[in-house]
Structures are given as C-alpha cells and as structure tokens.
Amino acid sequence: MRRTRREERAVTPRHGFGERFTDHMVMLEWTAEGGWAGRPRLLPYGDLTFSPAMAGLHYGQVVFEGLKAHRRQDGTLATFRPDAHARRFRQSARRLAMPELPEELFLEAVDAFVGRDGALLPAGDPTLSLYLRPVLFASEACLALRPARAYTFLLMGFVTGGFFSDRPDPVSVLVSRDFSRAAPGGTGQAKCAGNYAGAFLAQRAAAEAGCRQVVWLDPVERRWIEEMGGMNLFFVRGTGPSAELVTPPLTGTLLPGVTRDALLTLAAQRGYTVREERISVEQWRAQSESGVLTETFACGTAALVTPVGEARDGDERWLIGGGKPGAVTMELRDALSDLHQGRAADPHGWLRACAVSGEEATR
C-alpha cells in the first residue's frame, strides 16, 4: 500500500540541520519603482536563476531570520513569536539599507508556508519542529556601489530535531581571543549573513580545539562576554529559588535574541532575579571554579536552551556545574518546551496558531 506524503516523511531518517527542505517556499519581490510586488506567493521549493551580477552576492546585502512552528499536544501547529521575528527582520534590513518587509506580509508568508507544509511535521515526537528561514537579499543585477534597487524575499523551511542533539547534552565552548564578531557601530545586532561568514574561521578553530561553539568577547576591551554567535548566553549564580540569572546587555554588538527575551520573562515569572549585566571571562572562570556561578546555558531558536558544561580560554579550561546540565537550565528548557507544545498557558500571546491544509481546523 502506498504511504501518504506525511507518512513517508515520518519514517524518513533524520537529516542534519538545514539539509533537506520541505516542498514549498514563499517568494515576494521589491523594486525601487514599485515597492513590494503584491502579496507573498507560495511556490514549489526549487532552484532559482539569478544574474552573476546580483548585488547581494557581491556586496552582502543579505538578512535572514530563524523561527519555528511546533506541534502542540492537541495536534495543532503554532509558530513562536513570529511578530518579534518580523520586527527584527525589519531592523536588520534597515541597518543594511534594505527595504523593510511590513509585518503583515511577513506573517502572511509564515502562515502560507506553515499552512501548506506544516502537515510534514509529525505528531508524537516533541523533539521535532518546523524551522522557518525567511531571507531577504539584493537581487538587482548591477555592481554600482550603493544600496540595490531590487530585492527578493524568500521563506523556506525544514523539519528538524535539536540543533546540537535531541537531549540537553552540555556543550563545550572556546573563548575567541583572535577574532571579533562585531564592532561598535557595526552590524552586530543585525541578523545579516556577513556576521555568520565572519564567524566561521573562529568556529573552525573551536572545532579543532574539540569545542562545539565560540564565545565572543566585546571588541573594545576584549574581556566582556557577548554571545555565542547564533545563540545568546545566560549565567546562573546560586541555586534554588534564590538563584539569579545574568545575561549580557544588548550593547549594540550582539543579537537581540527572541528566545533570550522570552527566557528573561519566563525566569522572572518563576521568581528568579534576572539581570542584564556584563560578565567578564575572568569572573566566569573564577566564579565557576569557586562554585558561586553554578550554570551557564546558551539559548536561541535553533538551540532552544543548551547547557554549557565546559569552557576553554587558551590553556585555561574549566567546568561549569561539574559539567552537568543545571537545575535552572533544565527548568527553563522545560518551561519553553511546555509553552511551544501547548502544555503550558500562553499569557503573553506568543503562539500564533496556524491552520494547516489537510489537517483538522485549528482549535
């Protein structure tokens, strides 16, 4: 008997992050003369043809987002804070002198995509989610050194498990002393492609040192921890109800994470003291070694909440919380998953329900 498309996907072996896409994508163009060309169009996922002189390819006018749809325990699908991602997408575009996609068009694209391909997200496996990747790039065929006069917006997606692993296995990280991710007045707070390209060499150095990720320091004094590049960082001091959480402030050189923002709220709701405060590498090490600092975790759309078990800085190496996932980390990871999967109330209206074709209407 032939399997349906959904059954087929459900039994397909898992692929790596972003290796295998769903069947559709959404597209919308912008030109200086005409603005946005109507409404987002749903198309079969496939290759596109572009001029070799496409400006985005040469001058890097490319911004993107990453957001997820989750299957809730009642079987329906909901995206997590798509409005916050729409806002950040606009801010990133503004920083790169690109046109800003209105929020309602961003949401329409998200809904159209999830409505069409959402059925490919199997039920019954809470480790899976549908990752959505909106991207905007300069598509004008012209090498004049100025903001392009034509852009293309695309939204594609894929079903994915955990970014590092499906389990909360602690990762090891390397402090980058040789490179900076961003500079004051630069593009550090924009989600632009160049920030990621500029991080790959340091990421490779981390991998060669046996670490999963790079920790970026502030570019001026080179001692204050900023982010992990694709993920924000939180530090926990103390234990139990009196534990306090610290995350680096948004100085303009790090990405304002949507998950970071959600966790600040969820932690405060649980009664933890939460502070946006600078923390140096020296403090991180000394306080981890003395036991004052009990946990460190990374957070992001892809990474969710991932414990950091070990850090390296040149020849120095230290464990955090004995290298094991901490209680606060796990509590917040569960709180976020419960929200995503509809096991917890959503008092902030962070979930946007999506009607999926071929499935029962959204409850």
Nearer to ligand COI by Cβ, of 6 and 20: the residue is 20
Comparison of 80 and 272: residue with beta carbon closer to ligand COI: 80
By the 10 Å C-beta count (0-12 exposed, 13-18 middle, 19+ buried), 140 is classed as: buried
Q: Which amino acid, residue 1?
A: M
Minimum distance between the CB of residue 228 and ligand COI, rounded to whole angstroms? Answer: 9
Q: Which two tokens stand for residue 361?
A: 């209407």
The least distance separating ligand COI from the CB of residue 212, rounded to whole angstroms, comes to 13
Considering only 40, 168, 300, 342, the residue that binds ligand COI (CB under 6 A) is 300
Structural element, H or E, at residue 262: helix 258-269
Nearer to ligand COI, 266 or 302 (CB): 302
At residue 333, the 3 state secondary structure works out as helix
H or E element that contains 353: strand 351-354
The nearer residue to ligand COI, 227 or 313, going by C-beta atoms, is: 227
Strands 225-227 and 351-354: unpaired
Residue 67 CB, nearest approach to ligand COI (Å): 7
Phi, psi of 230 (to 5 degrees): 95, -10
State the binding string over 194-233 for ligand COI (x if CB under 6 A, else -). ------------------------------------x---
Binding to ligand COI (CB under 6 A): which residues in 83-102? none
Distance CA 6, CA 9 (A): 5
Judged by CB under 6 A, the stretch of 36-44, 49-57, 202-210, 295-303 that binds ligand COI is: 295-303
Q: How far is CA 81 from the centre of its chain?
A: 12
Site for ligand COI in 301-320 (CB under 6 A): 301-302
Which three-class secondary structure state does DSSP give residue 334?
Answer: helix
Dihedral of the alpha carbons of 168, 169, 172, 176, in degrees to the nearest 10: -30
CB nearer to ligand COI: give 115 or 300.
300
CA dihedral 345, 347, 351, 354 (to 10 degrees): 80
| Least distance (Å) between residue 154 CB and ligand COI | 16
Stretch that binds ligand COI, among 26-34, 216-224, 294-302, 351-359 (CB under 6 A): 294-302
Q: How are beta strands 244-247 and 273-276 bridged, if at all?
A: parallel
Binding range to ligand COI, per CB under 6 A, among 41-49, 297-305, 310-318, 346-354: 297-305
- 126 residue type, one letter: P
Query: 188 or 300, CB closer to ligand COI?
Result: 300
Contact present, 96 and 187 (Cβ < 8 Å): yes
Which residue has the CB atom at the shortest distance from ligand COI?
66
- Residue 129 or residue 180: which is nearer to ligand COI going by CB? 129
66 binds ligand COI (CB under 6 A): yes
The residue length of the chain stands at 363
Helix (H) or strand (E) holding 115: helix 103-117
Number of residues that bind ligand COI (CB under 6 A): 5
Per-residue contact flags (x/-) with ligand COI for residues 136 to 175, judged by CB under 6 A: ----------------------------------------
Binding site for ligand COI (CB under 6 A): 66, 230, 300-302
